[in-house]
Amino acid sequence: MPDRLPAPVVDSHTHLDACGAVTAADVAELADRAAAAGVTRMVTVADDLDAARWAARASTWDDRVWAAVAIHPTRTKDFGEAEQSEIERLARQDRVVAVGETGLDYYWDYSPPDAQQEAFRWHIDLAKRIGKPLMIHDRDAHSDVLRILDEEGAPETVVFHCFSGDEDIARRCVDAGYVLSFAGTVTFRNARALQAAAKLVPSGQFLVETDAPFLTPHPFRGRPNEPYCTAYTVHFLADLRSEDLEGVCSAVSQTAERVFRLPSVTSG
C-alpha cells in the first residue's frame, strides 16, 4: 500500500467489475482499500451492455462510487437501436455521471472504423442531450477523434480517459477546453512524450485514474491494478510537475467534482 495522500483524490476511471467485484461487499472492500490510500471516491466505467447495467447498480451500493456507461469502440460492430435505448436509459440515472467510455480504437480490429465512428457520434449526441460529460477512449486515433468532436460539436465537458497523446495533441485538447485524465502509463519509464504532455496541462484540466485492473503504475507494472494505486500516479505527477503534493490532490478533487458534479469533500 502507498502512503496515504495528504488530501483525498478521485479515481476518475476504473472498472470495478473487472477488478473482481460482483457484490456490494466486493465493492466496499475495494473502496475501503482505496480510502486507506486517500483515494476516497471513484467512477466505475462500463465497456459493454452487461457492464453498464452492473456499473449503474454498483453506484447505488456505496456512496463512494459513481458510474459511467457507454459501449466501448471495440464492441460497436453490432451497436443497434436496442443497445442505444438501454445505454440512454442507464445514462440518465442520477449516479451515472458520464457517458463513457466511447471513442475510437484503431489498435484492435474488433470493430470496423465506420462502425466505431458512427457509435462515437451517437454517444456525443447523447452526452449533449442529457447534459453529462463525455468520457473518451482514444487509442491510435487522435486525429479522427478530434475531427469528429469538431464536426459534431463537443459536449460542454469532454474527458480524454487515459490520455495517450504527445505535447501537440495535449495543447490542442487544452485549447479546446478538454480535460485530460492520466493513468499509470504516465509513470512508465519509456513514456517521455506522455510525461512532457502531462507537464503542460493546466491545473483544473487534468484528472488521475487507474483504468484498473489494467495499466498498473511503475514500479508495479504488469501486476493487477486497483483504485488505491491512483496514489502512486498522483505522487508521480506532483514530482513531474514540480508541484506540492497536497496542492495536486486538491486540484484533482476539485476538477473531478466540477466535471462529474460530485458533492464537495467538505459537504460529504
Confidence of residue 117 (pLDDT cuts 50, 70, 90): very high
Instruction: Reply yes or no on whether the pLDDT at 267 is more than 80.
Output: no
N- to C-terminal Cα separation, the chain: 25
Instruction: Reply yes or no on whether the pLDDT at 242 is more than 90.
Output: yes
- State how far the Cα of 179 lies from the Cα of 160, in Å rounded to an integer: 6
Q: What average pLDDT does this structure show over 93-107?
A: 97
Q: What average pLDDT does this structure show over 96-113?
A: 96
Q: 82: which 3 cell numbers?
A: 436496442
Instruction: Reply yes or no on whether the pLDDT at 265 is more than 90.
Output: no
- State how far the Cα of 177 lies from the Cα of 158, in Å rounded to an integer: 8
Confidence of residue 159 (pLDDT cuts 50, 70, 90): very high
Q: 192: which 3 cell numbers?
A: 517521455
Tens-digit pLDDT profile for residues 122-132: 999 999 999 99
Among residues of the chain, what percentage have pLDDT more than 70? 99
pLDDT score recorded for residue 268:
41
Contact present, 256 and 207 (Cβ < 8 Å): yes
- What residues have CB less than 8 Å from 65, skipping those under 6 apart? 16, 27, 31, 41, 42, 43, 44, 58, 59, 95
Q: What average pLDDT does this structure show over 31-44?
A: 98
- State how far the Cα of 196 lies from the Cα of 192, in Å rounded to an integer: 6
Domains of the chain: 9-267 (3.20.20.140)
CA neighbor of 211 nearest in space, from 190, 239, 187, 192: 187
pTM above 0.75, yes or no: yes
Instruction: Reply yes or no on whether the pLDDT at 43 is more than 70.
Output: yes
Average pLDDT, the chain: 96
Tens-digit pLDDT profile for residues 206-240: 999 999 999 999 989 888 999 999 999 999 999 99
